[in-house]
Amino acid sequence: MIGVGVSMLLIATLILVLVRRLQVQTQETPKYRFRKRDKVLFYGRKIMRKVSQSTSSLVDTTISNTSRPRMKKKLKMLNIAKKILRIKKELPILQLKEPPPSVLEADLTEFDVANSHLPSEVLYMLKNVRVLGHFEKPLFLELCKHMIFQQFQQGEYVFRPGQPDTSIYVVQDGKLELFLTQQDGKETLVKEVFPGDSVHSLLSILDVITGHQRPYRTVSARAGEDSTVLRLPVEAFSAVFEKYPESLVRVVQIIMVRLQRVTFLALHNYLGLTNELFSHVSDGPCPGDLPMGVVHLGQCPNPCPTTETGGWHPAGEGTEKARTPRAKSLCLQGGDPGAAGMDQSLWQCPPLSLQSVSQEPKERRSVTVEEQPPGTYHYNYCEDDSAGGACPFGPYQGRQTSAIFEAAKRELVKLMKIEDPSLLNNRVLLHHAKAGTVIARQGDQDVSLHFVLWGCLHVYQRMIDKAEDVCLFLTQPGEMVGQLAVLTGEPLIFTIKANRDCTFLKISKSDFYEIMREQPSVVLSVAHTVAARMSPFVRQMDFAIDWMAVEAGRALYRQGDKSDCTYIVLNGRLRSVIQKGNGKKELVGEYGRGDLIGVVEALTRQPRATTVHAVRDTELAKLPEGTLNNIKRRYPQVVTRLIHLLSQKILGNLQQLCGPFTGRGFGGEELTNPASNLSTVAVLPVCDDVPMAAFTLELEHALNAIGPTLLLTSDIIRARLGASALDSIQEYRLSGWLAQQEDIHRIVLYQTDCTLTPWTVRCIRQADCILIVGLGDQEPTLGKLEQMLENTAVRALKQLILLHREDGPSPSRTVEWLNMRSWCSGHLHIKCPRRVFSRRSPNKLREMYMKVFEKDADRHSDFSRLARVLTGNSIALVLGGGGARGCSHIGVIKAMEEAGIPIDLIGGTSIGSFIGALYAEERSAVRTKQRAREWAKSMNSVFETVLDLTYPITSMFSGSAFNTSINKVFQDKQIEDLWLPYFNVTTDITASAMRVHKDGSLWRYVRASMTLSGYLPPLCDPKDGNLLMDGGYINNLPADIARNMGAKTVVAIDVGSQDETDLCNYGDSLSGWWLLWKRLNPWAQKVKVPDMAEIQSRLAYVSCVRQLEVVKSSSYCEYIRPPIDRFKTMDFGKFDEIYDVGYQHGKVVFSGWCRGDIIEKMVKDRRLADFYESKRMDVLTCPSAGFTDLAEIVSRIEPAKSYLSDGEESDYLTEYEEEGLDPAREEEELLAPAEWIHTEVFETKLWPLLPGEGVSWA
């Protein structure tokens, strides 16, 4: 048999040689012609068309039953003809589309003054007054009447120290320069102001509004060139505020919000400044003396009158002199490290003391607190002398407590300038805090006003990058703390603690809003106490640091511009794009809330390296270069912080991260992961059949396992903010509220309506990423909303989500879904639980998902995978090449499943690409093992291997048998139709480059990735004809590719052969005869010298070995290598043994990971620690937290309404309904909808609504 085969091989070889020689002799100039295969296909299709036409003409549409067998025979003949001619239905190929210009290009038109129908001065003023909020047209026109034009020559001062600080200056043309005067009299340039920009201070505006006008002290401005300036006196706002009191409240609130979000964010979060931002001694007015005969402010130089043990001295004669010196030493030497180093003047504060009251006949009274609804407290003073025990509010007892309480309320009335003292009735709570009590923590949402009566409250702030708190200031008797958070509605930015016993009055946030509703002007006095606490340094920075708004599509700066400032994203999203020398544009990165933009160029004084434009409407804080230099000179410790920020940016660029939305058209040099900082996700349906409500609830449930998530629909918005919330007049209110939701939640989900409503437009405007949701078992279609979307320049990245039923078929025709869309950044297949497709009324849906939200989300579900993709927490599995040793991959995957490690992305090289493709299709280690074992058996067939031998010019085998074996496994599956995102790596020997395949024919690219040189011929890429070889030659363990696709953690399994490194040093020359003698002589010492084949192999894998070392040393990769070195590359007959080795090794490794919390760290959100550090879980402590619009409270916008509707119910029972109703469930059904909304689970896990609000379902 072997002889016959050899003889046939020789005959065939001779024939081929003769044919080649004849071809060379007759070869002339090359002519373009069809290949033989093309000719065969052409004539074959032509024959098939004629056969089909003839059969259709012969057969009538009304065929009788007797003629049907004849038709079957004809069909069989057609199928036989197809097989003979090898005519196959051509599978659709993904059409690679470039992203639309709106994705990578900024709008060419900037702030266009020339083409506007409004005068330039009106446009510039409108742009700059926006910093104070949204003014209606009549209000704005009223302000424009007060504009004053001023001309300045170059070098002429616009204002200088000593002049009143009462105006806003807007540059119409020319340039202004802002200077700070140092202590030595020298002026330092901190800011250049160009046309359209302004010079003003929000704190100065607040001072004028509150009636505490100040002159300029260290700030001056002069014209850098001949300039025209518009001056708007702040007094112009007074007339507006008299007509519209809600505008006054809104402006004050916005000033406070800008102060907290812009100034404090830039100076504290990024420059690390803490107590430099606050004045240690408040500049505000001290309350007047308390009335004689009741209580008055004494002159004790110590605010903390305690004994050495921290207890209180009883009031009485002679105690004042005895305790004052001791108390002073105690306070200065106490356990507070932050306060010890403060100026001694901080301690010169007047505590409340008793004189005449202490001499009255004592009647023992007890004070009890009855707990009322939130924010309402009553005090009942009991006359019973027998009541024992000390007063819980400090050293005062009985009538003394009553007198102190009433006197303190009068002082609070004076401080807050309350016209009607009865407004404080039942709204003030007297508190006594023991030493060491934490009154409020940094990040708390439910805050209150605290007015100190006795003792002092220490205010701390957590240092950046250190687990240490620094003392900012002390709140003395007669001063308030906590008012900034109450006015802004933002979380508290510091911690309030009583280091000594302290007595204070407390007004809850809700009670303060009730007072403000009755008297709006109360916000002025409270806001002034905030401004009085700010240090002079903050006032200077308030002039220099700008707040700016960039509309979607506008460029923040362009490539090549001068770098003169740094930006901080307050909310919104920016995209950075670089233009190469050939004109091609590539995505560099995307930036979300809290990111620092342009810091590298600004600090290195290099031109802008990229163009940055707004993906959606974005708010930023602008920190000019001169301001930064001034801060560095004043506080040198800032330099260390800047070096840290700069190193983070540089290291981030070196890692060259990109994201999961870079499937097509972005290039491979992305430097940041776009999904790592998504804040908002819009969900858009393809058709009305998509179960949007159930889908968004499932996604919210999965996202809640990662971080606090909020789902918003048009009905929820109307229920929470009123029926008019989506009107254009409420633009500011809605934008501010949505911005705060982004601050206090990890992700905000926007569910659009099914039509193009104002809410749908708002969702698209707010979105960082748009999920287009379709049904995978339907015909590929383009939705109406999508068609409308194509007509608008939407810059948010779009992701196609195809939903599949739990018991439905596998995904198919995904390419058609993608090709009919202009551009999608990627796609995902989601297998939904049965409950998602069950039709039920909104009430029934709510009931069912209450039960769902009580349970933890399954981390292995497709919704959890989508949640990890959206938050940048994907876990990737990368499988290396190594022949039969790769069978151990399946064992490790089985161990991963048992350890609870989810797999969101899979890829590999060579045998790793084969195993990875099987798992991406099956998502089951058991089924993957079965199919891989069947294929391994076919690899052991000697007969098929011999038949595939060919003349070894390119390779020893023709590759036909190997192609057939791979094709039998995957059939005509496309990579796009796999359940899991998948990729494999090949080596393109035509272009001498690495190729990463994420779409196309699955079996072909798996075969290409397994093509060993010399054994199999290269595979021709069906797309471009390039020759593809085994990817192991260039990247045998492509963990870096998985990282570039957005994975946070990569589990890399290496099964490659390990080369011998202990080789013989034979000198400068080598004799082959000497080597032959060493090998043949059994008594000679063996030497390790590679032969020619091994040298070629090592040369081929040089790049791969270097890449492997980089992967093993990376921080994102978990490297695993099973002990499979004893197995050879072609040992497919030992499949089960190799599988067991991988399984046992995986169990040992993953059990160690469980003990070391490595798995928990893998599934934990990358931003969770930072998020909770800044928010302090304020959503969990205050689930009903919402945006506090003070103007709404004053103007009484209509109350929230409930929009409830029932639809058709379904008989499709889920596992939650089949369990039956428990008693708690039955009790819930008896509640009214408005009452039901406030159950604990619904508030904390579904839709956190404000008290008394309802919700409806679309």
Which pLDDT does position 1248 carry in this prediction?
A: 33
Q: Is 283 in the active site?
A: no
Mean pLDDT, range 816-828, rounded to an integer: 87
Return the number of other C-beta atoms located less than 10 Å from residue 731's C-beta: 12
- The pLDDT confidence band at residue 123, using thresholds 50, 70 and 90, is low
Instruction: Find out whether 456 and 473 touch, Cβ atoms under 8 Å.
Output: no
Angstrom CA distances, 273 to 296, 464, 501, 529, stand at 38, 9, 29, 21
First to last CA, the chain: 75
Task: Kindly tell me if the per-residue pLDDT of 445 is higher than 50.
Answer: yes
Radius of gyration of the chain measured on its C-alpha atoms: 38
Mean pLDDT, range 678-702, rounded to an integer: 92
Which pLDDT does position 464 carry in this prediction?
A: 74
Greatest mean pLDDT among 123-127, 228-232, 1100-1104 lies in 228-232
In this structure, of 131-140, 504-513, 705-714, 951-960, the range with the lowest mean pLDDT score is: 131-140
| Selected residue with higher pLDDT from 1126 and 123 | 1126
Pairing assessment for the beta strands 1047-1053 and 1117-1120 based on DSSP bridges: parallel
Pairing assessment for the beta strands 797-804 and 555-557 based on DSSP bridges: unpaired
In this structure, of 137-151, 515-529, 650-664, 972-986, the range with the lowest mean pLDDT score is: 650-664
**Catalytic residue selected from 336, 977, 1030, 1189:** 1030
The amino acid present at 935, given as its one-letter code, is: W
Q: pLDDT (tens digit, 9 = 90+) per residue, 731-744?
A: 767 887 888 788 77
Q: % helix / strand / coil in the chain, to the nearest 5?
A: 40, 20, 40
User: What is the rounded CA–CA span in Å between residue 1108 and residue 903?
Assistant: 22
User: What is the rounded CA–CA span in Å between residue 1000 and residue 1002?
Assistant: 6
User: What is the rounded CA–CA span in Å between residue 424 and residue 973?
Assistant: 73
Q: pLDDT (tens digit, 9 = 90+) per residue, 604-616?
A: 888 999 999 998 8
Instruction: Find out whether 221 and 199 touch, Cβ atoms under 8 Å.
Output: yes
Task: Kindly tell me if the per-residue pLDDT of 421 is higher than 90.
Answer: no
Among left, alpha and beta (phi > 0; psi -120 to 50; other), residue 196 is: left
Largest CA distance in the chain: 133
User: What is the rounded CA–CA span in Å between residue 635 and residue 628?
Assistant: 10
Q: Which distant-in-sequence residues (6+ apart) come within 8 Å of 73 by Cβ?
A: none
DSSP string spanning 172-232? EES-EEEEEE-TTS-EEEEEEE-TT-EE--HHHHHHHHTT---B-SSEEEEESSSEEEEEE
Q: pLDDT (tens digit, 9 = 90+) per residue, 892-910?
A: 999 999 999 999 999 999 9
Which pLDDT does position 985 carry in this prediction?
A: 95
**Catalytic residue selected from 282, 910, 913, 1009:** 910
What dihedral do alpha carbons 121, 123, 124, 128 form, nearest 10°? 130
| Selected residue with higher pLDDT from 847 and 451 | 451
User: What is the rounded CA–CA span in Å between residue 510 and residue 374?
Assistant: 8
Q: pLDDT (tens digit, 9 = 90+) per residue, 326-376?
A: 333 223 223 333 333 333 333 334 444 333 333 333 333 323 223 333 333
Which pLDDT does position 1206 carry in this prediction?
A: 40
Task: Kindly tell me if the per-residue pLDDT of 700 is higher than 50.
Answer: yes
Task: Kindly tell me if the per-residue pLDDT of 768 is higher than 80.
Answer: yes
Which pLDDT does position 211 carry in this prediction?
A: 83
Task: Kindly tell me if the per-residue pLDDT of 1198 is higher than 70.
Answer: no
- The pLDDT confidence band at residue 79, using thresholds 50, 70 and 90, is low
Closest to 686 measured CA to CA, from 807, 610, 777? 777
| Selected residue with higher pLDDT from 345 and 150 | 150
- The pLDDT confidence band at residue 138, using thresholds 50, 70 and 90, is low
Strands (E), 56-161: 148-152, 157-159
Closest to 919 measured CA to CA, from 908, 909, 906? 906
Instruction: Find out whether 1027 and 992 touch, Cβ atoms under 8 Å.
Output: no
- The pLDDT confidence band at residue 406, using thresholds 50, 70 and 90, is confident
Angstrom CA distances, 24 to 10, 18, 21, 30, 1209, stand at 21, 10, 5, 12, 78
Instruction: Find out whether 702 and 864 touch, Cβ atoms under 8 Å.
Output: yes
State whether residue 110 is helix, strand or coil. Answer: coil
Instruction: Find out whether 1071 and 1004 touch, Cβ atoms under 8 Å.
Output: no
| Selected residue with higher pLDDT from 293 and 1047 | 1047
Closest to 859 measured CA to CA, from 870, 851, 868? 868
State whether residue 577 is helix, strand or coil. Answer: strand
Q: Which distant-in-sequence residues (6+ apart) come within 8 Å of 312 by Cβ?
A: 305, 306, 394, 395, 501
Burial class (CB in 10 A: 0-12, 13-18, 19+), 450: buried
Please, what is the average pLDDT of the chain? 75
The amino acid present at 691, given as its one-letter code, is: P
Burial class (CB in 10 A: 0-12, 13-18, 19+), 747: buried
Helix (H) or strand (E) holding 169: strand 167-173
State whether residue 782 is helix, strand or coil. Answer: coil
Q: In the structure encoding, which two tokens stand for residue 102, read together? A: 């709106």
Q: In the structure encoding, which two tokens stand for residue 763, read together? A: 């969702």
Mean pLDDT, range 849-876, rounded to an integer: 91
Strand partners, 1086: none
| Selected residue with higher pLDDT from 830 and 444 | 830
What length is written for the chain?
1258
The domains located in the chain, with CATH, are 2-25+36-85 (no CATH), 119-243 (2.60.120.10), 289-540 (2.60.120.10), 560-677 (2.60.120.10), 678-868+1175-1246 (3.40.50.300), 874-905+912-921+932-1058+1091-1132+1156-1163 (3.40.1090.10)
State whether residue 1004 is helix, strand or coil. Answer: helix
- The pLDDT confidence band at residue 861, using thresholds 50, 70 and 90, is very high
User: What is the rounded CA–CA span in Å between residue 810 and residue 974?
Assistant: 12
What is the share, in percent, of the chain residues with pLDDT greater than 70? 72
- The pLDDT confidence band at residue 115, using thresholds 50, 70 and 90, is very low
Closest to 938 measured CA to CA, from 909, 971, 958, 967? 967
Which pLDDT does position 711 carry in this prediction?
A: 94
DSSP string spanning 309-374? TS-PPPP-TTHHHHHHHHHHHHHHTSS-HHHHTS-GGGG----EE-STGGGSPP---EEEEEE-ST
State whether residue 990 is helix, strand or coil. Answer: coil
Burial class (CB in 10 A: 0-12, 13-18, 19+), 371: exposed
Q: Is 1189 in the active site?
A: no
Q: pLDDT (tens digit, 9 = 90+) per residue, 205-257?
A: 888 888 888 888 889 999 999 999 988 888 887 777 777 777 777 788 778 88
Q: pLDDT (tens digit, 9 = 90+) per residue, 543-594?
A: 888 888 888 888 999 999 988 899 988 888 899 999 888 888 888 888 888 7
User: What is the rounded CA–CA span in Å between residue 1070 and residue 1091?
Assistant: 12
- The pLDDT confidence band at residue 1002, using thresholds 50, 70 and 90, is very high
User: In what side-by-side order are the strands of the sheet with 198-199?
Assistant: 148-152, 227-233, 167-173, 198-199
Write out 1044-1100 in H/E/C secondary structure. Answer: HCCEEEEEEECCCCCCCCCCCCCCCCCCHHHHHHHHHCCCCCCCCCCCHHHHHHHHH
Which pLDDT does position 129 carry in this prediction?
A: 62
User: What is the rounded CA–CA span in Å between residue 693 and residue 597?
Assistant: 37
Q: Which distant-in-sequence residues (6+ apart) come within 8 Å of 448 by Cβ?
A: 440, 482, 486, 506, 507, 508, 509, 512
What is the share, in percent, of the chain residues with pLDDT greater than 90? 24
Helix (H) or strand (E) holding 586: strand 585-591
DSSP conformation class of 534: B
The amino acid present at 381, given as its one-letter code, is: Y
Which pLDDT does position 392 carry in this prediction?
A: 42
User: What is the rounded CA–CA span in Å between residue 921 and residue 928?
Assistant: 9
DSSP conformation class of 164: B
User: What is the rounded CA–CA span in Å between residue 764 and residue 758?
Assistant: 10
Q: pLDDT (tens digit, 9 = 90+) per residue, 631-664?
A: 888 888 888 877 777 776 666 555 544 433 344 3
